[in-house]
Amino acid sequence: MSHDVSNAKVLNTPLSTNRWLGTATLVVAGALQTLTFSPFQLWWLGPVSVLLILLVTVPLASEKLFRAGWLTGLGLFGSGASWVYISISEHGNTVIPVAILLTVAFVAGLALFHGLAFWFWGKLARNSAVRRLILFPAIWILGDWLRGWLLTGFPWLYLGTAHTDGPLAGLAPLTGVHGITFWITATGAGLYAGWWLMKHLRPVAAGVTLVIVLIPWLIAPAMNRVDWTELSTEATTFAAMQGNIPQQIKWDPEFLKDQIVTYLGMTEGHWDTDLVLWPETAIPIPQDQAGKIIEHISNELGENSTLITGIPWYGFSDRLEDFTYHNSIIAIGNGEGMYHKQKLVPFGEYVPLQSVLRGLIGFFDLPMSSFSQGPAWQDPLTANGIKIMPFICYEVAYPDFVAFNARGAGLLLTISNDGWFGDSIGPLQHLQIARMRALETGRYMLRGTNNGVTAIINQRGQLTETIPQFERATLTGEVFTAKGSTPYMQTGSWPVLTLAVILIVFTRERVIPPVSASGS
């Protein structure tokens, strides 16, 4: 490519020259990514979305890319995460206009991550179309990574998660979700490059480019049949109770006894099961007040049986040097251990700037929104000698956190109460995220929820047993422990992040000549 501005102009299309058409395309492209996830599972729209984004943004002047990124994020989070409105309005006792305003602020704030990433992309690539194409996957990955930890993080709607049932699923044990996302964005960039080369009558170069980006799509399905971990031959019997307790009465003192009686009744006939699972805060009173309940459960369980349940914890913390609450999970019976949740949900489990925000609206005073963060590097729970690493609700969304904590554990387990999000797509996205964690670690993931979807997920991320949403039912099945580690468990996302940094470092002006971008 030459340095002529005229060559840059051939990159222009109505999508990049018409401001309103470009705006609409970016928002739609972001929304298309939501369709790649559950319950839609149109994974093939991932590269299509990226291609549309590039058709708009590659010709744009650098100073216009922040807005372009923000619009993309607006489409993604507006369609894929606006279910937070249900928590704010229905369960936060917030009037509708304020709930709408807070939801819009939430979506617009998350979209800033894409805006920042695209701004950085423009600064690095300047006006070189070639550099923009090479750098795009790297910038996207780094933007996802930043969003996953800054201000406790929102590791949701990563493009790679859509491939639990897609052809790139075989990459998950090798590279994790970020590696899959990298190749989806690289594929979109490759499609753009192929289109541009064909316009310049270079069919051989276009063909080579397309073959390169298609290679992982052809190899990954075979990789999905590789056994990275070794499963035990002896099955562990498993039962999980889905109580379907309405969120409106979850913390009402008048209904606390009824909830416990419900779960005790559902467990009748399953006390001799090897592993019994109740969901997040199934016992809705702190452990220091639940001694008789825990004792009753222990007496009912069979000699080799363990019941694991969510329960709030209250007591003095040597680490925090104060009395505090934790959102916790405990093993009872032929097992031991208690785990305190580390990744807390802002406003749901703790309130940032609570001295200012408490009391302003009902959403800032949700029940049990005063939890403290649990300590890092907690030991797994044990059940009949099996090491089980638990993750409470939102924690399962953090890929590296799950991978590193899964080391040495034979089973993974997650409990949740997705009743906060009603009949929205949020809980189904949450289930798909748990499936990706099973894929990445080569381990069974046991999922217990209050109102669905309770499930057994095998080491390949497949659902073997489920209870549909909004049903009171008991799930039974068999699970198998795993030995060994996947490559991703050993390295985490660092190889992919390192590759992104390498691309940034070596894709510089003296290596790749610039082609001025359009100012339109």
- Catalytic annotation, residues: 280, 341, 393
| Contact (Cβ atoms closer than 8 angstroms) between residue 25 and residue 414 | no
Helix axes 203-223, 172-199, angle to 10 degrees: 160
Residue corresponding to tokens 């807070």: 102
Query: Pairing state of beta strands 236-242 and 473-479?
Result: antiparallel
In 3D space, the residue among 192, 225, 224 whose CA is nearest the CA of residue 210 turns out to be: 192
| Contact (Cβ atoms closer than 8 angstroms) between residue 119 and residue 66 | yes
**H or E stretch covering 386:** strand 386-392
CA atoms within 13 A on the CB side of 444: 24
In 3D space, the residue among 243, 333, 336 whose CA is nearest the CA of residue 283 turns out to be: 243
Cα of 331 vs its chain's centroid, Å:
26
Tokens of 344: 């807390």
CA atoms within 13 A on the CB side of 311: 24
| Contact (Cβ atoms closer than 8 angstroms) between residue 489 and residue 499 | no
**H or E stretch covering 9:** helix 5-9
Residue 255 carries which side chain, given as an amino acid letter? F
Distance (Å, whole) CA 183 – CA 193: 15
Distance (Å, whole) CA 455 – CA 103: 30
Peptide bond into 501 cis (omega under 30): no
Distance (Å, whole) CA 167 – CA 157: 18
Residue 220's DSSP bridge partners are none
Residue corresponding to tokens 């989806």: 184
Residue 189 carries which side chain, given as an amino acid letter? A
